[in-house]
Structure 1
Amino acid sequence: MSRAFVKEDVNGPPELPDLPLSPHPNYVTPRGLASLQARLRDTQTTLAQLRARTERLDKLPEAAAERDIRYLEARLRSAILVDPARHPGNEVAFGHRVTVADPEGVETTYEITGEDEADASLGRIAPQSPLARALIGAEVGDTVLWRRPTGAVELEILQIEVPHDP
């Protein structure tokens, strides 16, 4: 019988490629660091539950959890904790909440957070984003130019807050 089409290690977990790591410095807020740590604990718990299954023919969920653990551990190793409360609130900095107004007077609040914490639906943006780069260093009353793919827009800085989230 030819062994050309026989899988050698049927019981071994499949090899999944690692998740890509950002080339940017991994700045995190205290909330972002706590979130990464919680995600790692949750994923480790999930992996332990998967390994405790009596029926373990499908190893893909275990391989995915192991891959996610490697990613989270790498992100935690590279984390650079930045406490926004240590930076004065007179100019926009990492971790600050910024309320801006566009030319039509529409107000929007953004928070500059780490990449793993960024979530557009919550107004959280990564420091490498074009918007965050435009905002960082600005003061209340300043106008900044946000260069977007659909065209540049001027934003007036209305308020800068240092969040006190856990």
Structure 2
Amino acid sequence: MSRAFVRESDAVEELPEKLVSEHRNLVTPEGLALIQAEVERLQDELAEGQRAGDRDAIQRTSRDLRYWNQRLTTAEVQAAPASASVVSFGSTVTLERDDGRVQKFRIVGEDESDPSKGRISYVSPLAQALMEKAVGDTVAAGAGEAEITKIE
């Protein structure tokens, strides 16, 4: 049917699809659980939107559900690091910055990263600088440098 015959109150503005990263979808076991929980939450939200007949909510939730289902199907669960001798995916790294600050980060998948909670994406510049480094190595960190003091 032509848009000319749709009442304005019935028109639903189409939302753009969420962008999917070009990187491999590496996840920790906890990251996989987070993705699964988000899919379940969105399925419940979609069902509620359908019951209520809320077309905007249905469209928004359907788009989000497509994104998270895609992330779920492409998830590559990574085992915990076998060794703490060098930094790898899943490692928790303690850094001492050149200004004296001590920070601790775990290297995780893109969807589970949250720097404010100490989780950084494995594709972030800091994580990339840390990969394959050992205790005592120095890496660029922001405008300064940081020394790796511990790997777990």
With structure 1 as the length reference, what TM-score do the two structures score?
0.83
Q: Secondary structure at the match of 1:39?
A: helix
Structure-1 residue corresponding to 2:150: 159
1:67 aligns with 2:58: no
Question: Offset of 1:6 from its aligned partner?
Answer: 3.1
Structure-2 residue corresponding to 1:81: 77
The partner residue of 2:99 within 104, 110, 113 is: 104
Question: Offset of 1:106 from its aligned partner?
Answer: 1.4
Structure-1 residue corresponding to 2:88: 93
Structure-2 residue corresponding to 1:30: 29
Q: Secondary structure at the match of 1:112?
A: strand
Residue pair 1:13, 1:62 contacting (<8 A) in 2 also: no
Q: Percent identity between the aligned chains? A: 38
Instruction: Specify the structure having the higher radius of gyration (Cα).
Output: 1
**RMSD over equivalenced CA pairs, Å:** 2.1
Gaps of 5+ in 1: 162-166
The partner residue of 1:126 within 115, 121, 124 is: 121
Q: Secondary structure at the match of 2:15?
A: coil
User: 1:10 & 1:75 partners in 2: Cα distance?
Assistant: 34
CA offsets, 1:53-79, max 9 Å, x none?
A: 2xx2x4111101100110001111111
- Identify, as 1 or 2, the structure richer in helix: 2
- Once the two structures are superposed, the pairs formed by residues 111-150 of structure 1 within 5 Å of their partners are 111-146=106-141, 148=142
Structure-1 residue corresponding to 2:48: 49
Gaps of 5+ in 2: none
User: 2:84 & 2:22 partners in 1: Cα distance?
Assistant: 28
User: 2:65 & 2:86 partners in 1: Cα distance?
Assistant: 37
User: 2:4 & 2:80 partners in 1: Cα distance?
Assistant: 57
Residue pair 1:46, 1:65 contacting (<8 A) in 2 also: yes
